Chain A
Amino acid sequence: QVQLQESGPGLVKPSETLSLTCTVSGYSISSGYYWGWIRQPPGKGLEWIANIYHNGDTYYNPSLKSRVTISLDTSKNQLSLQLSSVTVADTAVYYCARGGYSPTYYMDVWGKGTTVTVSS
């Protein structure tokens, strides 16, 4: 059974870089699939951030691309997200999820999410 667990600081200061990690269990991320990050501001809808393939190919939301880096650590079976120059608008629950075999796909397994607040 594939499980995903997000982790990272719950509070980030404006203009700093948000860094999150997603640990995958029950499946080796080097075996396949795209893996991604999605966020949800309080009381609002879902926004896709980025996907990464097991070979390291990346796919970014154009509206966030200039500030986002997604990466894999296959030795730890983790994917990571960095979002630079954060503002209060980046306050959200951040989810990691499993996609498919193309960069655009539905997400069939999700982590529980981690809340990040941007505040001084």
Chain B
Amino acid sequence: DIQMTQSPSTLSASVGDRVTITCRASQSISTWLAWYQQKPGKAPKLLIYKASSLERGVPSRFSGSGSGTEFTLTISSLQPDDFATYYCQQYESYLTFGQGTKVEIK
């Protein structure tokens, strides 16, 4: 099984901050990584696929990078709508998700 570990688990930030979330895979997954945003009571929303490709309609302040075992999701300037929980997901072998990173208001 490929394990996905996100850090931090919780992140406190202010509107306008640059925010970075890290996701590490227990073995190499090339660039087979996606990022999702989830708000309370809602389904996850796809933000990034293949590590760095922005899903259609997602604001350009979201970006992804990395390959192999280490990946990052960056929000260049945090907006009020971005306070949510973010999950990474590998799809190199089966599908597994990270435990989530909650971005909360500082």
Contacts and interface: CB of A to CB of B under 8 A. Distances in A.
B44 A106 contact: no
Given A46-B87, A62-B94, A107 B46 contact: yes
A35 B86 CA distance: 22
Interface stretch (B16-24, B76-84, B97-105): B97-105
Contacts of A107: 34, 44, 46, 89
Interface size class of A (residues with CB under 8 A): 20 to 34
A114 to B, nearest CB: 11
B46 A108 contact: yes
B62 interface: no
Contacts of A46: 36, 44, 87, 89, 97, 100
Interface string B28-59: 00001010100000111110010000010000
B96 interface: yes
Contacts of B44: 46, 95, 107, 110
Interface of B: 1, 32, 34, 36, 42-46, 49, 55, 87, 89, 91-100
The 7 closest A-B pairs by CB, nearest first: A106-B34, A48-B95, A110-B43, A46-B97, A104-B91, A106-B49, A45-B99
